[in-house]
Structure 1
Amino acid sequence: MKIVLITGANKSIGFETAKQLLEQGYYVYLGCRDMEKGQQAVKQLQAWGLDRVEPLLIDVDNLASIQAARTKVKALDVLINNAGISGGMPKSSTETEIGVYREVFETNFFGVVEVTQAFIDLLKQSAEPRIVNVTSGLGSLTCQSDPNYVHYKVKPVTYVASKAALNAYTIVLAYELRDTAFKVNAVDPCYTATDFNNHSGPGTVQDAAARVVKAAMMGPDGATGQFFSDDNAPETGISPW
C-alpha cells in the first residue's frame, strides 16, 4: 500500500485529492493546521467507507510543526504540497506592503521547501517516490507576458510571484533527482470554484483533484520536471514556464 501526505487537505481540492487517492487504495496522511478540522474531515471520509486515513497536524508556516509531523510518519511514497494562500487581492506591485509578500511566500514557497526537505529522506526509501507541487497557471512567466493569454489581466502580484518561485523550485528539484526513481512535477488544478476564490472559478474540485492525482500516480515511464496545466495548454496539458 502506497502512503501519501497531502498538506492543506482538510477541505477543498486537498480534501477531494485525499478522497480520490483513498479510493485508489492509498494510505493518506491528511495534513491540517487545525487538528479539530482535520479530525472532522477524516470522520467524513470514514463515513464513506474510506478508513485508511489519519489526520496529521502540520502548519507549513511553522518549522517546529513540520518537524513534529515528520516524527509521526515512518514511510512515505508521495508528497503533495497543496497548502497555499492567495494573499487576497493586494495593491499594485509598487504599493503592496512587503509584509504581504512575505506572508504569501512563507506558505506558498518556503513552506513547500521546508516540508520537502523534512520528508525527502522517507521519499528516497520508496520504490516510486512522487512529489507534486500544486501551483497555478498564473505562475507561468511566459503566459503572464503574453497579451493573448486568457488570464493576462489577472496579476495578483504576491500570488503570481510565489507560484513562479514554486515552479522554479520544481524545475531544480526535478533536475537534481533526474537520475533516480523520483517524478517531480508542478500541477495547476485550474480555475476551480473554492473558498480560495469565493467560488468564482468554473471548474469543479473533482476535476481539479483528478489532475493532482494523475501526477501523484505517475508511472515509471511518466514525465518529471513538467508544469501541467489544462488552462494554459488545453491541447497538450503541458504549460510553458
Structure 2
Amino acid sequence: MLQVEGLVAGYGAIEALHGVDLAVAPDEAVALVGPNGAGKSTLFGVVSGLLRPWRGKVVFDGQDVTRWPAERRALAGLILVPEGRRVFAGLSAEENLRLGAYRRARGREVADRMAEVFDLFPRLLERRGQRAGTLSGGEQQMLAIGRALMGRPRLLLLDEPSLGLAPLAVREVADALSQLVRSGVTVALVEQNAAVAFGIANRGFLLDRGEVVTAGSVADLRDDSRVQAAYLGNPRG
C-alpha cells in the first residue's frame, strides 16, 4: 500500500529525515514511535504531500506519488488526520463531516458514510449540530477522524491522535481506531505514547534522530530494551 524509499527531508538547512525506508501493507496497522524531534511528523508531512522531500521516493498503491500535491493524494485515498485536530471551529460537527466527503461522494453516499461515522463515534451524533470549536478535545479528535473517514481512505494516516486528550478520551479514540483496523482499514499512526500505539498496531517502527532504529512486530518492540526504557516506563536491566 505504501513504500517509502531513501527519504531525506527537512526544514530550511536542517535535515530532519536521513534516508528513511519503510512499508505499509494493505489491511495492516503500523505505528511509528519515538521521542519528540525524531522526525515522525516530518515523515507524515512528506507522505501526505504537505512537505516536499529533498531526496527519496513515496510510492502509494504502486504509483510514484512523490511529486503529487496533497489534494491529489487525498483524492486517491491517502488521507491525513493532522496533529492538533484542525477542525473548522465555526462550523457544526455535521458540516465538518460533510467537508470530508467533498469531491469524494455525493447524495445518499454522504448520508451513508455519515451514519457509519456516527456508529463509530456515537458522541458525534449527539453533537452533530454543535459548533466544532465548542467540543471537548476528545470530541474534536473523533470529529477529525470522522472527517477523514468521510473521504473513504485507502490508507489513514494519524498524527499523534492521543496528544493532549484526557485518559478517558484516549481510551475511547484508541478503541475506535482498533475497531477500524479490525474492519479492514489500513492505518499508519505516529504516536509518542507507545502503549496506545501498540494497543492499535500490529507492527511498528522506532524512529530516533531522523532514522529508523528498529522495526518489527508489536511484540518484538515491546521486548526491545530501548522501547522499554524510553516509552513504556519499564526499563530492563
What TM-score do you get using the length of structure 1 for normalisation?
A: 0.35
Q: Which has the higher contact order (CA 8 A, sep 6+)?
A: 2
Between Structure 1 and Structure 2, which shows a larger proportion of strand residues?
2
What TM-score do you get using the length of structure 2 for normalisation?
A: 0.36
